[in-house]
Amino acid sequence: MASTSSPVVQVLQRHGYYIKGLDFRCWFDTMGKLMNAYEFVFITKDGSKKVLETAEDIFKGFKGTIAAKEDWGKKAFTYKMKGLSEGFYHVWTVNMMGAEIKELKAKLNLEESIIRYLLLKKN
């Protein structure tokens, strides 16, 4: 019996990356290159829409896509960071090429509205 699923799905199934109905951890861009899933946790000075749009534009500038967004709200710090005692926490799941990470981190370090961030590759 011939399979009716796409060749990409067949390859992912063969290697254990694809389960029907579940979100799988790797994606392909329009050129067919493998994109990795990352968890991006970051703290901003304020929770304004402008700051979040700036962060989103940074990822889009590196051809990344944002799969999920979660806001944890305003939380107090254990110790002061950049002279602040509280900040707004955000957690995003992003998909992008691994080769772009070094340049992305350099760009995030220059962004003054982001107090601190953590970018982790998902398994």
Residue spans of the domains in the chain: they are: 25-121
Predicted local distance difference test score (pLDDT) of residue 1: 44
Q: How confident is the model at residue 30 (pLDDT cuts 50, 70, 90)?
A: very low
Predicted local distance difference test score (pLDDT) of residue 89: 95
> Does CATH place domain 25-121 in 3.30.70.60?
yes
Predicted local distance difference test score (pLDDT) of residue 98: 82
Mean pLDDT across 75-91: 93
3 or 87, which is more confident: 87
Predicted local distance difference test score (pLDDT) of residue 114: 93
Mean pLDDT across 62-73: 90
Residue % of the chain over a pLDDT of 70:
72
| pLDDT over 60 at 13, yes or no | yes
The residue type at 30: T
pTM over 0.75: no
Mean pLDDT across 15-38: 58
**Angle CA 60–11–31, to nearest 5:** 30
* CB neighbour list of residue 16: distance below 8 Å, 6 or more residues apart: none
DSSP code at position 83: T
Contact criterion met (CB below 8 Å) for 63 and 29: yes
Mean pLDDT across 14-18: 59
